[in-house]
Structure 1
């Protein structure tokens, strides 16, 4: 949404909220968290410790740095 890509939003009632959230998050941090999610899925498929994988995954997720309520 914040990159100007034309998307179809399923729940149009949430469009304003989605735009606020997209503007509040650092795009590089979001990309990093998506890559980390893929890594976490791979680790879980290869029998890694679930608790450690989830903990590491949550630590890398971006925070809302602009004070906009989620």
Structure 2
């Protein structure tokens, strides 16, 4: 009985080590990020699709005003 318990315990412990590998997949690697998605719902107003300079400006503004906790919280 004790041996059966040990075997079952070992099997359960080893089953916990069977994590599947997690990867992002292929994605859209061949397309430049400023090319856009083609869906209007995902496009910020005022952003010109395909314009690298406009895309960089939008990214700069997003990180400064939307994701910067120092500017969001205030003094």
- TM-score (norm: length of structure 2): 0.29
User: What TM-score, normalized by structure 1, do the two folds share?
Assistant: 0.31
Rg: which structure is higher?
A: 2
